[in-house]
Amino acid sequence: MMNRIDQEQADANTVSTDQLIDMYRWMITVRHFDRRAVHLQRSGRIGTYAPLEGQEAAQVGCGFALEKRDWLFPTYREHGVSMVHGLPMATIFLYWNGRPEGCISPRGVNIFPIAVPIATQLPHAVGAAWASKLRGEDTVTVGFLGDGATSEGDFHEAMNFAGVFKLPVLFFCQNNGYAISVPLAKQTATETIAEKAAAYGVEGIRVDGNDVLAVYEAVKWAADKARSGGGPTLIEAVTYRFGSHTTADDHTRYRASDEVEAWREKDGIERLRRTLVERGVWSDELESDAWERADRTVQRAIDEMLSAPPVDHNRLFDYAYAKLPQQLQDQREEMRTLYGDGGGK
């Protein structure tokens, strides 16, 4: 069975005005973070980066619907929901700066390290959900994915296992229309992602991913269901990335500019701003203040990232093997001969 929640069904009265404003401020902060990250990559201060501009409503709405105790299993594009869930912005910058500490969440922030291989985090999310169920914990796990991940075997295995054991896990798919340059219609024959859930005895929801309230309601409903023993849910948040897949990609080679502009008219940030203005709780002054606050917050995180001491180059050899093979031991000694111990570039 598949439920559909669209913009008209989203009820702005399900959250308070203060919470709506908080959501909006977060969406602005996430967008400013994203734009600054792209600029940092272009100036050589971080590595290849995966932008999320256009998907802020999906991520912030999801984050607000979860509890602090819940676990996130992100892809490489979940910067927004990770911030809302408590991951420090500086930690995210350190990750994209290529630093090991960027993979470590602070104690009490239940977020697994970023998974770059497609869909590999989904069985991890299911395993954590199974452990939670066996322990009798009131915890939900969320496995994040893009539309392209539904073409992977790990998606099938995770969905099947979750359905059989009725696990407290959500599969949150941000369907932004493209798996890098491959459009949705060329990788699946189904009309929607959500309908795939039926094959596994799982409930599927298709939601307007650019409507933060619709996303919030869908995730809150699915999480409440999971906590009460109702099993997993596949949520398809239909959204769009305005830019390229990563900073190593050029979306203009496979997408028409009028398509991008048509989606910009559905921008989730602008839609929520209009709602706040219509309620009489937002103004140009508050708008300017929100962007200035976001700029200060992002700049502090950038400064923290840039001020981190150089990484000890010997850490290059620390994590791949329990016992380093002789060939790599020799390479490590060669590096020490050339550069010595301690920090390096």
| Residues acting as catalytic residues | 241, 245, 254
Sequence-ordered list of residues with C-beta below 8 angstroms from that of 61, at least 6 positions apart, any chain: 23, 211, 212, 213, 214, 215, 216, 219
Q: Which two tokens stand for residue 106?
A: 């602070």
DSSP for 207-232?
A: EETT-HHHHHHHHHHHHHHHHTT---
> Which single residue is written with the structure tokens 């941000």?
174
| CA–CA dist 209, 199 (Å, integer) | 23
- Look at residues 77, 80, 67 and name the one whose alpha carbon lies nearest to residue 24: 80
DSSP for 37-93?
A: HHHHHHTTSS-S----TT-HHHHHHHHHHS-TT-EEE--TT-HHHHHHTT--HHHHH
| CA–CA dist 73, 112 (Å, integer) | 5
